[in-house]
Amino acid sequence: MAFDSLATPLGLEPKKPKSAKRFSKRRVLLFVIYLTAIVILTFAAIKSTRQSGTPVAMAKIERMDAPRGDTARIERPTDEQQPRQDTGPRSSAADVEQESGVKVIRQNGGQAPGATVIRVPDSAREGERMAPAPDPRVVERVALGFLPKTGEGGITPRRIYARPFANTDKPRIAVVLTGVGVSARSTTDAISRLPGDFTLAFAPYGRDLEAQVMRARRDGHEVLLQVPMEPFDFPDSDPGPHTLRAGSSAKENVERLHWLMSRFSGYVGIMNYMGGKLLSNPTALQPVLDEMARRGLLFLDDGSTPRSNVLELAGRTGLPAIRADRIVEAAGSAKPLRTLLAEAEEIALRNGRAVITVPALSANIEMLVNWESELGSRNIVVAPLSAVVPAARR
């Protein structure tokens, strides 16, 4: 500029101003170098990730168009169209994808991973699941808790809570374990070691009865409630609180029965605990059996009282009932368990069915496990109690 030349000392060339254009080119060059470095590092990281084995996949769910013309309808599939049931383990993840109906698209046309899908079976075998308890259709809520009842249409707890049993012409033996719920160890053994066809009779005084009964039923066992009844030598032999007494009024005994029945849910019926005096007294026994019949239960007479009137009175009131053919005493029987089981087999072969009651003791459970494993070779099956009790007669 003119003023710059005037301000420059004589003999010196005026200073040339810095080029703004040269400064701009340098910044642009640095920016390009920086951007190029970022791109190179990014591609290097992606390549390293792929080479390290980390799976990269894309999944796409394709929507199928509805047929043209009439409005699409959703219809219930026929039996042939029903999805395959879990009858066995699937071989691979590809099977799962094929059955799911979802189309999976993987990068570069990859296949499903080769992982094996493992199916954990339910405790109860297929077709042997029982209704959960309490089932609202067959319970009545009272101040004590839940009581069984006959529901609408005549539906009963003895049917709802029964263990499913495939009809067979083979002789049947119902084995009922008694006193379950009193000892934690024997209760666990009875539930876990014995197959579900063995029936478990729970005493009303155990701890955590609801949880124990729930576990027993989840493992496929049919359940009974043991009700304490007055023996001939009462009170020297005392079955426990809320015992049904031969000298009590019908109202008192029914109230005691209600307390006992409210202890847990999910049982198909009731069996006596002791009770020689009550079972041989028709006047005291009839109202008790009437109440059981009204509430849709069945009854098992454990066979300990020769003078029992159960079968005669149950026939009058329409209560399904049966008497045990053999009983193993808790204090020790005159005959060993193995002998009584052999006698029960003979009865089943002769009559088509038999019932034996066995205390839930560890030694007895061990013998029952071994006995049951041999029973198939003799063409006899263990059956839940509900599968051997005759239909109600009036």
pLDDT by residue (tens digit) across 131-180? 788 999 999 999 999 999 999 999 999 999 999 999 899 999 999 999 99
**Residue 311 included in any domain:** yes
**Residue 78 included in any domain:** no
Among 319, 250, 316, which residue's Cα sits nearest to residue 288? Answer: 250
Q: With a threshold of 0.85, does the pTM exceed it?
A: no
Length of the chain: 394
**Residue 9 included in any domain:** no
**Residue 249 included in any domain:** yes
Token couple for 114: 């080769």
pLDDT score recorded for residue 211:
95
Q: Which domain holds residue 302?
A: 136-162+173-387
Q: How many CB atoms lie within 10 A of CB 118?
A: 7
**Residue 330 included in any domain:** yes
pLDDT score recorded for residue 392:
72
Q: How many CB atoms lie within 10 A of CB 348?
A: 24
What does the radius of gyration of the chain's CA atoms come to, in whole angstroms?
Answer: 39
User: Residues in the chain with pLDDT < 50?
Assistant: 1-12, 19-21, 53-92, 96-97, 99-102, 115-127
pLDDT score recorded for residue 33:
81
**Residue 291 included in any domain:** yes
Token couple for 11: 């003999």
d(CA 132, CA 58): 42
Q: How many CB atoms lie within 10 A of CB 319?
A: 28
pLDDT score recorded for residue 87:
38
**Residue 336 included in any domain:** yes
pLDDT score recorded for residue 394:
54
**Residue 227 included in any domain:** yes
Give me the number of domains the chain comprises.
Answer: 1
Q: What is the pLDDT of residues 81-135, one digit of tens each?
A: 333 334 334 444 555 445 444 455 555 555 555 544 333 333 444 445 677 889 9
Find the CATH number of the domain harbouring 143: 3.20.20.370
